[in-house]
Amino acid sequence: MSNNIQVLSIGDVVTDAFIELLPSEAEIDHDNKKHPLLCMTYGTKIPFKDAIIVNGVGNAANAAVAFSRLGMHSAFMSNIGDDKVGRDILKDLHSNNVSTEFVHTNMGKKSNYHYVLWYKSDRTILIKHERYDYKWPEIRKYQTPEWIYLSSIGDSGGPIHDHLDKYLKDNPSVKLAFQPGTFQIREGLKKLKGLYAKSDIIAANKEEFQQILETQSDNEKTLINKMHALGPKIVLLTDGPKGAFASDGKQVVFMPPYPDPKPPLDRTGAGDSYTSTFTYAMMQGKSMQDALAWAGVNSMSVVGQVGAQAGLLDEDEIKIWLKKAPKKYSAKVL
């Protein structure tokens, strides 16, 4: 593997503990106006079906592994604690051929550990981002990445955003793909204005677009145009099982989801696989239509397995799925 980094993913890394709930022990309440509620009996013992531990995940970590599976020299910048969880995270990243030179071990701190309440094909995740002393590491000239992929960082990760903004100014050849995470969206446009403006690719789901842009508009074209006005060159808007939209500012392309060969097992990481694979295809000079097609295949594969990384495909596997794709799996220019 050469020293030259093709893509450097930046963001928090976690271990997910999946707790598979029994359908008979939980239910979804759709009466809540804001969001459906996962309901279980309060103040009692509740049987569960299974528990599965998945190390080294999170938006940016999932992307780093996806890029590696697709054959790129993939590096990862993050923070872990000096505990067994952190060591297991590093072990899993290494097993996926992701370079961890820029992963900092914080002495006396815990690593991020999340609990995933897995009910049927969807999940509710209990999250806690440990407060680390976020620092920008030295990136030597010969290590300068071709692309940086930025995603979810905890609420104390502001220094990374500031240093990244400066790094992009000092290294104009480096391109940026930005998949905002929860705390980055809450930061608001004012604090991260420079990163939105410098993004070659910006990606989020429809609800996140509405939060970022502070609008109730439900029209995809309106949301995309508003996002372009912030500066991003390519805009990717995903809408779960309804499909996705991509725009270069000149045309908007819609892509339906790849038909699932079997019912989805777990939707964790579906958005990460979609966004990272779309970004990879655009890095290779493919059209938005082709990039959307590649992304849909990898996302379909991921939801067929537990966790965000087990189902990630390599190039040859994606091409096989594309060859047998039904005719209706094709992009439409709107």
Q: What does each of the 334 residues of the chain score in pLDDT, given as a tens digit?
A: 446 899 999 999 999 999 999 999 999 998 877 789 999 999 999 999 999 999 999 999 999 999 999 999 999 999 999 999 999 999 999 999 999 999 999 999 999 999 999 998 788 989 888 999 999 999 999 999 999 999 999 888 889 999 999 999 999 999 999 999 988 999 889 899 999 999 999 999 999 999 999 999 999 999 999 999 999 999 999 998 899 999 999 999 999 999 877 776 667 768 899 999 999 999 999 999 999 999 999 999 988 787 778 889 999 999 999 999 999 999 999 8
Domain CATH code at residue 277: 3.40.1190.20
Q: What pLDDT score was predicted for residue 265?
A: 65
Tokens (6 digits) for 183: 């705390």
Q: What pLDDT score was predicted for residue 2?
A: 46
Q: What pLDDT score was predicted for residue 287?
A: 96
- Phi/psi-derived region of residue 329, left when phi > 0, alpha when psi is between -120 and 50, beta in every other case: beta
For residues 244 and 257, what is the distance between their CA atoms, to the nearest angstrom?
A: 8
Tell whether 121 is covered by a domain. no
Locate tokens 């403006």: which residue? 197
Tell whether 18 is covered by a domain. no
Which residues on neighbouring strands pair with residue 95, listed in sequence order? none
The per-residue DSSP string of 208-241 comes to HHHHHHT-----HHHHHHHHHTTS-SEEEEE-GG
Report residue 27 CA to chain centroid gap. Answer: 27
- What's the domain count of the chain? 1
The per-residue DSSP string of 117-141 comes to EEETTEEEEE---------PPP--G
Tell whether 47 is covered by a domain. no
Tell whether 235 is covered by a domain. yes
For residues 7 and 176, what is the distance between their CA atoms, to the nearest angstrom?
A: 10
Tell whether 118 is covered by a domain. no
Report the C-alpha dihedral over residues 182, 183, 188, 189, rounded to 10 degrees.
Answer: -80
> How many other CB atoms sit within 10 Å of the CB of residue 170?
8
Tell whether 27 is covered by a domain. no
Tell whether 72 is covered by a domain. yes
Tell whether 271 is covered by a domain. yes
Q: What pLDDT score was predicted for residue 24?
A: 94
Q: CB neighbours of 225 closer than 8 A, spacing ≥ 6?
A: none
Tokens (6 digits) for 112: 């991020």
Q: What pLDDT score was predicted for residue 3?
A: 61
Residues of the domain holding 161: 7-11+58-110+131-333
